[in-house]
Amino acid sequence: MRFGLVGTGFWARTAHATALAQVPGISLAAVWGRNPQAAASLAADFGATAYRDVGAFIDAVDAVAFAVPPDVQAPIAIQAAEAGKHLLLEKPIATSTAEADKMAAAAESAGATGNSLFVWGEAGRSAMPATQVDAVPALRTAASELAAAAAAGRSRHPCDVQFGRDVVRVLAAAQAQVDAARPGLDDPPRL
């Protein structure tokens, strides 16, 4: 299975690309990032091709792994799902329930599966768990699960995009409750 990697940062390089390169039957074939020089560097280090055009990037692969924040991930994941690509997503899968619903619908329509490992928020990536964890084994497992499901023609998985959509819904509901309990929290201080 030919994977494309969206993202070029530290986590994309040290965890995602490394894990994808270690899974039998998977090749890291393409890299796309917002920084074309970083995409070229990462691609060169892993024997992949760097793409500047997202559409051409998606066309070149069977599956897309994401190592970017959810606001960057969502529109590209929707485009990839609509093109029939398998998705290896980070969670939350989107920053709004509307985007999460669009992504789940696109994946459902295309029959694609999805998995993820990370939690993002306004402050960035979650530090949980608090101890250092080697993410490469988990990513290898996620990529292997995705490849096996795709090979078997299965489009559902306990950690698929529908689960990711439900996580976004729970987070949105929790945020709404916090906002309702703390009116004016985001208002500037009055002097």
* Catalytic residue set: 91
The region that residue 173 occupies, defined by phi over 0 for left and psi between -120 and 50 for alpha, beta otherwise, is alpha
* Residue (of 46, 48, 36) closest to 15 by Cα position: 46
Enumerate the H helices of 91-160 as residue ranges. Answer: 97-110, 135-152
d(CA 125, CA 118): 7
Residue with tokens 């995409």: 39
Determine whether 152 is exposed, middle or buried from the number of CB atoms within 10 Å of its CB (0-12, 13-18, 19+).
Answer: exposed
Q: Would you state the torsion angle of the CA atoms of residues 63, 10, 70, 147, taken in this order, to the nearest 10 degrees?
A: 20
d(CA 6, CA 149) in angstroms, rounded, equals 21
In one-letter notation, the amino acid at residue 88 is L
